[in-house]
């Protein structure tokens, strides 16, 4: 069996958190909060605003992911050579990553100047982030000869994994800056809906592995699959229920949800790549 491509695991995982966080930040702006007045923006601590924290986090995660991806080719500078072929899906992944990073940097600069990015810029940046998720998923979905990847479930796997991680990261940031409990609860309901979708995608993915990989000797990942399900799917459901029944505080519950989702999706990403290195 080939070695697990750690660099690709790191890139897809961190870039997914980066894009997912900014996308949910934009959705939060559109549906959950009202625009601040110029006076309120001037009074805000620029280093404590959600704009600043989200953009910094997204840039750092994307940057680390890109650096890791560059080492996948054995020599970092080969990454630049890979960008010379626009028809290559890997090159397109690089283009979308760089474009997304540039837009995040613009949002960060505006936040540092005390002038939050316009809704148009945030929506456009989020769409580019979504484009990155789609292109990244297609890199693997179009890989012939690896039936565990080459199927229609792979794009759903990548996109919803990023979105659910982005949602829980945003929830954690909101709870740390003492956002209203009502706003947080509304987003927790959205999170629960996405978690149920994630359960369905996981179920569909397992069916796909059973029906679409005949003749391929997949590794035995039963223990990892059970661990992923318990940590990343079952535990979050239990934690969320306890939050609403109030045995645990909102802040504690969100922290536990964050840990379970981030760990669960990380294990899920490892499983995905291990199912594709059977040759």
* pLDDT tens for each residue of 225-246: 999 999 999 999 999 888 877 7
> How many C-beta neighbours within 10 Å does residue 219 have?
13
**250-274 and 235-245 helices cross at what angle (nearest 10)?**
170
**Residue 279: predicted pLDDT:** 46
Domain 6-274 has CATH 1.10.10.10: no
Overall average pLDDT of the 259-270 stretch: 96
Overall average pLDDT of the 41-46 stretch: 49
**Residue 73: predicted pLDDT:** 57
CA angle, 104 then 164 then 105, to 5°: 5
**Residue 223: predicted pLDDT:** 93
On whether the CB atoms of residues 240 and 190 are closer than 8 A, the answer is: no
| Domain spans of the chain, in order of start | 6-274
**Residue 43: predicted pLDDT:** 41
On whether the CB atoms of residues 258 and 169 are closer than 8 A, the answer is: yes
State if pTM tops 0.75: yes
Distance of CA 54 to the CA centre of its chain: 13
Q: Grade residue 85 by pLDDT with cuts at 50, 70 and 90.
A: low
User: Minimal CA–CA distance to 192: which of 155, 244, 134?
Assistant: 244
* pLDDT tens for each residue of 161-200: 999 999 999 999 988 876 667 778 888 889 999 999 999 9
Q: Report the share of the chain in percent with pLDDT over 70.
A: 83
* pLDDT tens for each residue of 140-162: 888 877 888 888 899 999 999 99
| Sign, CA torsion 202/207/212/213 | positive
Convert the chain into a string of H (helix), E (strand) and C (coil).
CCCCCHHHHHHHHHHHHHHHHHHHHHHHHHHCCCCCCHHHHHHCCCCCCHHHHHHHHHHHHHHHHHHHHHHHHCCCCHHHHHCCCCCCHHHHHHHHHHHHHHHHHHHHHHHHCCCCCCHHHHHHHHHHHHHHHHHHHHHHHCCCCCCCCCCCHHHHHHHHHHHHHHHHHHHHHHHHCCCCHHHHHHHHHHHHHHHHHHHHHHHHHHHHHHHHCCCCCCCCCHHHHHHHHHHHHHHHHHHHHHHHHCCCCHHHHHHHHHHHHHHHHHHHHHHHHHCCCCC
CA angle, 259 then 116 then 125, to 5°: 65
CA distances from 82 to 75, 79, 100, 133 (A): 12, 5, 18, 19
* pLDDT tens for each residue of 126-135: 999 999 999 9
Whether residue 41 is predicted with pLDDT greater than 60 in this model: the reply is no
Beta carbons within 8 Å of 223's beta carbon, 6+ residues apart: none
């Amino acid at each position: 069996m080939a070695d697990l491509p750690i660099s690709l695991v790191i890139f897809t995982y961190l870039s997914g958190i980066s894009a997912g966080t900014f996308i949910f930040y934009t959705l939060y702006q559109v549906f959950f909060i009202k625009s601040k007045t110029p006076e309120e923006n001037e009074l805000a601590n620029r280093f404590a605003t959600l704009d600043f924290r989200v953009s910094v986090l997204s840039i750092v995660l994307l940057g680390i992911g890109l650096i890791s991806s560059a080492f996948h080719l054995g020599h970092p500078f080969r990454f630049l050579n890979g960008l010379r072929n626009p028809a290559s899906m890997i090159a397109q992944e690089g283009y979308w990553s760089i474009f997304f990073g540039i837009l995040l940097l613009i949002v960060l600069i505006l936040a540092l100047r005390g002038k939050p990015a316009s809704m148009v810029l945030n929506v456009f940046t989020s769409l580019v982030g979504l484009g990155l998720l789609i292109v990244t998923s297609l890199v693997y979905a179009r890989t012939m000869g690896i039936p565990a990847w080459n199927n229609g479930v792979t794009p759903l796997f990548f996109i919803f994994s990023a979105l659910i991680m982005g949602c829980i990261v945003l929830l954690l940031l909101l709870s740390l800056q003492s956002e209203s409990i009502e706003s947080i609860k509304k987003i927790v309901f959205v999170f629960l809906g996405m978690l149920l979708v994630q359960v369905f995608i996981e179920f569909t993915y397992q069916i796909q592995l059973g029906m679409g990989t005949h003749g391929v000797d997949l590794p035995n990942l039963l223990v990892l699959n059970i661990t992923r399900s318990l940590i990343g799917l079952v535990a979050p459901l239990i934690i969320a229920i306890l939050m609403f029944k109030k045995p645990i505080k909102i802040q504690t519950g969100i922290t536990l949800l964050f840990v379970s989702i981030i760990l669960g999706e990380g294990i899920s990403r490892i499983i995905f790549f291990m199912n594709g290195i059977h040759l």
